[in-house]
Amino acid sequence: MTPEQADRRLGVPPLPPRHVARSRLLAALDGADGLPLVVLAAGPGSGKTVLLADWVLARPAPVGWINLTTADAAPRRFWPLLASALRAGTGPGEIPPSAAATAAIGGVQSLLDSLPDSAIPPVLVIDDAHLLTHPAVLEGLDLIIRGGPPRLRLVLAARSDPLLPLHRYRLAGLMCELRAPQLAMTRGEMRALLAAHGVTLPAENLDALLARTEGWVAGLRLSAMRMEGTEHPARFVSELAVDQGSIGEYLIAEVLDRQPEPIRRMLAETSFLDEVTGPLADAVTGRDGCGDMLAGLARTNSFVVPLDAAQTRFRYHQLFAEILRHDGRRYDRCTVPDLMRRAAAHFERTGDFRNALYWAAESGDAQYAAAVLARGGLAHAFVHGVDLSGLHLESWQAPALPGRADAAQAREAAVVSSAVVAVMAGAESAASDLRALDQTADQLADQQLSPELLVTAGLVRLLLGMKAGDAQAVDEAAGRLLAPSGHPPGYRVPGLPAAVMLAQAATQFWHGRNEDVGALLQAALREAERDGPPVLELNVLAMIALTDSLLSRPHHAGEAVTRAHALLRQHNDLSPPLALELAAAVRSLIAADLVAAARATERALTSGYAGFDPGLVGARAVGQATMLLASGDLNQARAVMNHASSRSDLPLLVLLRETLLADIETIVGRPNAALGLLRGCQDGDLAVLVALPRARAYLALRDLPRAQHCVRTVLTATSALVSRYNLLEAMLCDAQIAQLKGDPGRALEMIAGAMELAQDDIVLPFFATQGVFASLLARHPAVAAQWPLPPEGVPVHEIMPGGRPDTADLPDPLTEREHAALRFLAAGLSTAEIADEMCLSVNTVKTHLAAIYRKLTASRRKEAVLRAWELELL
């Protein structure tokens, strides 16, 4: 055995038991054969040494290996050690003992000259190369790397970047790099490692383990070892252990114990933060210089991950953060809630109210959270659409003012109290809260308030007005906030005017006051583009898309949707707002694309936070019920609307709810019940919107004069509430009346006008009434050829308001009266009960039932109902 072979510093470490080869990384090392330098830089336990050992042991070409120590990093010891490593790798006699005997550059050149000529230059692996700091050693390595065609290939494994000009090597194409992200195990590699230890985990536990360890090799290997042979290995996925052989023990020994006490304490006291910066860490810990500490830890790959190129923002590896929180128990200077309050105070000072509110709430200090809310947090949340439900203000109590409290303290306390009330108020309590607010109106409008408090006071009234459905209160509050006096000198909240105009436009829309909605939204969009954050611009565009979709202005809505999606692509942190999903559902439903409408409705139902506009929650329920009605699920549609009845008192949504319920009653054969529901909606500014549901009910009763009167109300209306869609529905309803009167010419005239008005983007009313006009269209193929149809793949048997299932497949289709009687028949009503519901004599009902049996080729009631289900008539 040669001296070199006996030296442990020169031996390739053995592979660990149950080793799993990592083919993608081995291939990357093989692919760097033509380069003079390969660098593996990552923290401890990232698998650098094992990967290189696996690679070296499989190579046919000569390889030298150095397990570097601190003592061997000095020039007088390093260069002889390097020569010994090369002799051990290439074989005795290849490199003379005198090679690199000196630390000078000449010795390095002599070493290179002594290397044997070979098509494949020898490889030298230096493990723990981060220990190399002496300038003479670094200069010699630089000569090897940049000395022309490689005579020797260096592979450096280090916990931090070697102190070499890596940027030059990178630009010159002389180097291959493998860093922590590449060295992290993939899901497949992790599964193979667990399998080698006889461990099998369900998919969700695999995902959780990979997320928790972030693919860190040592963490996964230690986890596999702890799981091996246990009855319930999944319980170790989320377990934090610091005992012998655990991940915690490894991190404490390899990382934490190597840190100076100030750094260790800084890490522990900031471990609760998802993201940390130098100034934030300074504020939380009360010490200066934390930014330099964090940058140094990131450079040494000590489980502190930089989040930006400038290395000013950092996060802790998930497992490391868990160990840090455990380590924090060693310190008793501050509790975690105290540290969170310090973080909140830092964010408030820097104007980051989203994080200030978040950490104030996390600290559990409702008093402090309420104060931050009043001092600018509410304005920030209103502009940015921040969900305030997590502030935990339920435990807030108005603090008792000291006996000598001055007027300023009383004014501030009043604003704080009102801000809490505005956030916590529901639709039921908002009106009374608004009235109670009038009692403190003088305090809340006092110009001696600070600018932040003055703006908050205005927003409180606006929000309570929105929740209470009080359009006048909203208009008054918006007027004050948008007036020059609403902006205290030297104080402004970017985007606030746009957010106020958006709220005012939405409130007017939900009250059916459409005259100024478009102008307000366009003004809000201009302000948002000029002065607001991208999320506010997105919310304005979404509301424009929704209102224009509901008012049957598809081209305007399409432009807003296109711009909204461009914003979403530009800003990855934004997500589609509820209004945008509702707009997509409305547009798809109008086009009779029920598949796309169902998808958009589903997205709307799962979109979470609905923002500060209470109308969107009610609109979501109306959209869901409309989609269910379109799918023929009448019972579920009714249930959704009945549940929504207690959640919104906004006039437009109340009316839409009643018209949907009335249409359901008409469809199931209870037109009198439908008219009863609409009786209270016949007067007022929104009355024109109930005319068509009433017309459909009268049609079901064969009361053609009253149906005609309702239709004429819509066709002759000048109200901005009547959309192109409403007019089209009215024209088709008029055509149906003409058909029943025996006037096919008039019916065809109205159908032609409706098709012209549709402009190829409104299909649903045609889809809904196709069965009604089946016989007429069969006699006029030219008109039938132009009849708008839904997209391919949409089932043609869906039940829609105003129509009934297509019975054209029957040789003798059912009449409207027969179809209504059939529904009652299926519901189990007796002949007398059917007569009562339909306001007919019992003999007339018997005549209808006989016709139904004949047309359905049935001999009795049960058989007729079964046949009707087969033909999808029910």
pLDDT at 643: 80
Note whether 134 and 17 are within 8 A (CB). no
pLDDT at 161: 93
pLDDT at 416: 86
Nearest to 819 by CA among 674, 628, 668: 668
Q: Mean pLDDT in the chain?
A: 85
- At residue 796, does pLDDT exceed 80? no
pLDDT at 799: 37
pLDDT at 417: 86
Same domain, 244 and 303: no
Residue type, 340: M
Rounded to whole angstroms, how far apart are CA atoms 551 and 107? 85
Same domain, 148 and 26: yes
Calculate mean pLDDT across residues 198-217.
90
Q: What is the pLDDT of residues 526-546, one digit of tens each?
A: 999 998 999 999 999 999 999
Q: How far is CA 755 from the centre of its chain?
A: 40
Same domain, 317 and 414: no
**For the ranges 28-37, 115-124, 765-774, which has the lowest average pLDDT?**
115-124
Q: Is 606 within the bounds of a domain?
A: no
Give the alpha-carbon dihedral of 403, 405, 407, 413, to 10 degrees: -100
Residue type, 370: A
| Phi, psi (deg, nearest 5) at residue 863 | -65, -40
Task: Count the domains in the chain.
Answer: 6
Rounded to whole angstroms, how far apart are CA atoms 465 and 471? 7
Tokens of 838: 């339909």
Same domain, 460 and 375: yes
Q: Is 504 within the bounds of a domain?
A: yes
pLDDT at 662: 93
- At residue 602, does pLDDT exceed 90? no
Note whether 84 and 4 are within 8 A (CB). yes
Q: What is the pLDDT of residues 718-727, one digit of tens each?
A: 788 888 899 9
Q: What is the pLDDT of residues 823-840, one digit of tens each?
A: 777 666 788 878 877 888
Same domain, 848 and 761: no
- Per-residue confidence at 801, pLDDT binned at 50, 70, 90? very low
Decide: helix, strand or coil at residue 285: helix
Same domain, 60 and 154: yes
CATH number of the domain residue 129 falls in: 3.40.50.300
Calculate mean pLDDT across residues 132-161.
89
Rounded to whole angstroms, how far apart are CA atoms 657 and 697? 16
Calculate mean pLDDT across residues 768-783.
88
pLDDT at 504: 96
Calculate mean pLDDT across residues 44-60.
92
Q: Which residue has the higher pLDDT, 846 or 274?
A: 274
DSSP structural state of residue 241: -
Cα dihedral sign, 324-326-330-331: positive
Same domain, 378 and 504: yes
DSSP structural state of residue 185: P
Q: Is 649 within the bounds of a domain?
A: no
Decide: helix, strand or coil at residue 515: coil
Q: What is the pLDDT of residues 706-757, one digit of tens each?
A: 999 999 999 888 788 888 899 999 999 999 999 999 999 999 999 999 998 8
SS (H, E, C) 573-621: CCCCCHHHHHHHHHHHHHCCCHHHHHHHHHHHHCCCCCCCCHHHHHHHH
Q: Is 323 within the bounds of a domain?
A: yes
Where a domain ends, among 257, 282, 305?
257
User: CA angle, corner 93, sides to 92 and 98, nearest 5?
Assistant: 105
Same domain, 825 and 787: no
pLDDT at 871: 64
Tokens of 417: 């109290």
Domain with 840, as residue range(s), is: 806-874
CA distances from 266 to 249, 263, 292, 310 (A): 20, 5, 12, 21
872 HSE (CA, 13 A, CB side): 12
Decide: helix, strand or coil at residue 110: helix
Which region, left, alpha or beta, applies to residue 684 given φ > 0 means left and ψ of -120 to 50 means alpha? left
Q: Is 701 within the bounds of a domain?
A: no
DSSP structural state of residue 333: S
pLDDT at 613: 87
- Per-residue confidence at 401, pLDDT binned at 50, 70, 90? low
Q: Is 31 within the bounds of a domain?
A: yes
Q: What share of the chain in percent tops pLDDT 90? A: 43
Decide: helix, strand or coil at residue 693: helix
Q: Is 526 within the bounds of a domain?
A: yes
Nearest to 275 by CA among 310, 240, 301, 304: 304
Note whether 629 and 606 are within 8 A (CB). no
Calculate mean pLDDT across residues 344-370.
91
Where a domain ends, among 257, 291, 316?
257
pTM above 0.95, yes or no: no
pLDDT at 675: 93
**For the ranges 176-180, 447-451, 506-510, which has the lowest average pLDDT?**
447-451
Give the alpha-carbon dihedral of 93, 98, 102, 104, to 10 degrees: -80
- At residue 580, does pLDDT exceed 70? yes
Query: Which residue matches tokens 């339909």?
Result: 838
Rounded (to 5) percent helix, strand, coil in the chain: 60, 5, 35
SS (H, E, C) 766-816: HHHHCCCCHHHHHHCHHHHHCCCCCCCCCCCCCCCCCCCCCCCCCCCCCCH
Same domain, 142 and 73: yes
Rounded to whole angstroms, how far apart are CA atoms 813 and 871? 11
Cα dihedral sign, 394-395-400-401: negative
- At residue 497, does pLDDT exceed 80? yes
Q: What is the pLDDT of residues 71-119, one digit of tens each?
A: 999 999 998 898 888 887 665 545 555 554 454 555 566 666 666 666 6
Q: CB burial class (10 A; 0-12, 13-18, 19+) of residue 147? A: middle
- At residue 873, does pLDDT exceed 90? no
Q: Which residue has the higher pLDDT, 821 or 353?
A: 353
Calculate mean pLDDT across residues 790-795.
59
Q: What is the largest CA-CA distance in the chain?
A: 123
Rounded to whole angstroms, how far apart are CA atoms 563 and 605? 23
Q: Is 57 within the bounds of a domain?
A: yes
Where a domain ends, among 153, 183, 213?
183
Q: What share of the chain in percent tops pLDDT 70? A: 87
- Ordered strands of the 63-67 beta sheet: 63-67, 123-127, 153-158, 37-41, 175-179
Same domain, 304 and 449: no
| Number of C-beta neighbours around residue 67 at 10 A | 19
Q: Which residue has the higher pLDDT, 492 or 130?
A: 130
Note whether 695 and 733 are within 8 A (CB). yes
Which region, left, alpha or beta, applies to residue 294 given φ > 0 means left and ψ of -120 to 50 means alpha? alpha
Q: Count helices and strands (H / E) in the chain.
A: 46, 8
Calculate mean pLDDT across residues 580-609.
85
Partners of residue 304 on adjacent β-strands: 316
pLDDT at 47: 94
| Count of all residues that appear for the chain in the document | 874
| Phi, psi (deg, nearest 5) at residue 366 | -65, -35
Rounded to whole angstroms, how far apart are CA atoms 269 and 335? 9
Nearest to 271 by CA among 236, 321, 329: 321
Note whether 348 and 375 are within 8 A (CB). yes
Same domain, 778 and 813: no
pLDDT at 13: 93
pLDDT at 807: 43
pLDDT at 808: 42
- Per-residue confidence at 49, pLDDT binned at 50, 70, 90? very high
User: CA angle, corner 351, sides to 350 and 357, nearest 5?
Assistant: 110
Rounded to whole angstroms, how far apart are CA atoms 724 and 727? 5
Same domain, 9 and 142: yes
pLDDT at 97: 53
| Phi, psi (deg, nearest 5) at residue 189 | -65, -40
Q: Which residue has the higher pLDDT, 147 or 743?
A: 743
pLDDT at 687: 87
Note whether 578 and 570 are within 8 A (CB). no
Q: Which residue has the higher pLDDT, 333 or 686?
A: 686
Note whether 578 and 604 are within 8 A (CB). yes
- Ordered strands of the 276-277 beta sheet: 276-277, 313-316, 304-306
pLDDT at 803: 40
pLDDT at 245: 62
**For the ranges 14-28, 77-91, 237-251, 554-568, which has the lowest average pLDDT?**
237-251
Rounded to whole angstroms, how far apart are CA atoms 696 and 711? 9
- At residue 588, does pLDDT exceed 80? yes
Partners of residue 328 on adjacent β-strands: none
